[in-house]
Amino acid sequence: MTHHTLDYARRIREQGYRLTPQRELILDAVCEGGGHTTIDEIYGRLQKKAPAISLATLYRTLDFFCELHLVVSAEIDGQTVYEIAGLTPHHHLICRECGASIHIDHELVQELFDKFQAEYGYTIDMDHMAFTGLCPACRAKAGAGE
Amino acid sequence: MTHHTLDYARRIREQGYRLTPQRELILDAVCEGGGHTTIDEIYGRLQKKAPAISLATLYRTLDFFCELHLVVSAEIDGQTVYEIAGLTPHHHLICRECGASIHIDHELVQELFDKFQAEYGYTIDMDHMAFTGLCPACRAKAGAGE
DNA sequence: ATTACTGCAAAGGATTTGCATGTGA
DNA sequence: TCACATGCAAATCCTTTGCAGTAAT
């Protein structure tokens, strides 16, 4: 997780926006999540370092980061989760039973998008999808149980 | 849209649930949407025929139908949309500019899921995805404009 | 000196819940 | 009959907004 720290300040200021302590702290708190992290988790981490940051600022700042593509978000069964944007798009396979989540790169997904392009003309550009199903372990259990 | 009408009553009663006038009207109202339709649209259609049906019942009934797989739902930019479940899974390509939505069948998507299975062991079983991007027309416009 | 950003508190909107009543099987 | 389902209204949850004050550039 170092790629973004190199130039996020520049990327923010380049567009005429300001780098504030709140923005730095929030970006750190998203980073600390490692992978997917919810608003509440981020807010919890922030409380320890900067109790004064308001939820309103957190919401506004996460939207702001998403627009600048410093952060990506996804909807996972009704919950919005956030994650630091990498250098390249990536996606996730998520187990609906145990919540296990693995990271997959864009390649296989892009192949599908290319087929959509060829067959239907639509240019799909989703860069952070969450695919839900069963992980190998939960699938084994389910198979035995039913 | 006739496939479901053949046996939805049976499918409901088989599980020990009851077929009420409200459930029939709501299922009709989802059907009339043709494709994706929101809670508000469904509620609007219902008002004309059965003004007394409450929003609470509508929410409860749609959840109920989703559990029985009579209806499928999807999240499209923050909005939950509903649609009658077909005999086979299907998905959508949706234009983020003009909202145009096309129906695609499951085959290409299943190929991707099969690769996920082979490479990562995860069994993905999403049966109603929405892929967003640009339709051919909006892509042409965007290409010219920028 | 500007004007973007923040905090607070209130507003807003969507969805859920408790409970008494009604009704399908 | 009797458990399931409904309607109403209130409650709850999440997110957004207005505005006055603060701070980055």
* Residue A3, Cβ density class (10 Å: 0-12 exposed, 13-18 middle, ≥19 buried): exposed
Chain A residue nearest residue B107, CA to CA: A112
Nearest-10 crossing angle of helices B39-49, B21-32: 120
- Note the pLDDT tens digit of each residue in A46-76: 999 988 899 999 999 999 999 999 999 999 9
Residue A16, chain B, CB below 8 Å: the answer is no
Mutate to test the interface with B, among A122, A124, A128 (most CBs of B within 10 A): A122
* Residue A116, Cβ density class (10 Å: 0-12 exposed, 13-18 middle, ≥19 buried): buried
Per-residue confidence (pLDDT) for residue A145, from 0 to 100:
52
- Note the pLDDT tens digit of each residue in A74-104: 999 889 999 999 889 999 999 999 989 999 9
Give the tokens for residue B66: 């989703």
C-alpha atoms less than 13 angstroms from C-alpha of B132 in its C-beta half-sphere: 13
Per-residue confidence (pLDDT) for residue A87, from 0 to 100:
86
Q: How far is CA B16 from CA A65, B9, B12, B13, B69, in A?
A: 49, 11, 7, 5, 16
B48 touches strand D (CB under 7 A): no
Q: Distance (Å, rounded) from C-alpha B85 to C-alpha A31?
A: 39
C-alpha atoms less than 13 angstroms from C-alpha of A77 in its C-beta half-sphere: 9
Q: Distance (Å, rounded) from C-alpha B63 to C-alpha B33?
A: 17
A5 touches strand D (CB under 7 A): no
Q: Using the CA of B19, which nucleotide's C1' is the nearest one?
A: C24
- Note the pLDDT tens digit of each residue in B54-106: 999 999 999 999 999 999 999 998 899 999 998 889 999 999 999 899 999 99
Q: Using the CA of A54, which nucleotide's C1' is the nearest one?
A: C7
Do residue A131 and residue B126 have CB atoms under 8 angstroms apart?
yes
Give the tokens for residue B95: 């234009």
pLDDT mean over A28-55: 94
Per-residue CB contacts under 7 A with strand D, chain A residues 50-89? 55-56, 59-60, 63, 80
Give the tokens for residue B105: 């069948």
Residue B146, chain A, CB below 8 Å: the answer is no
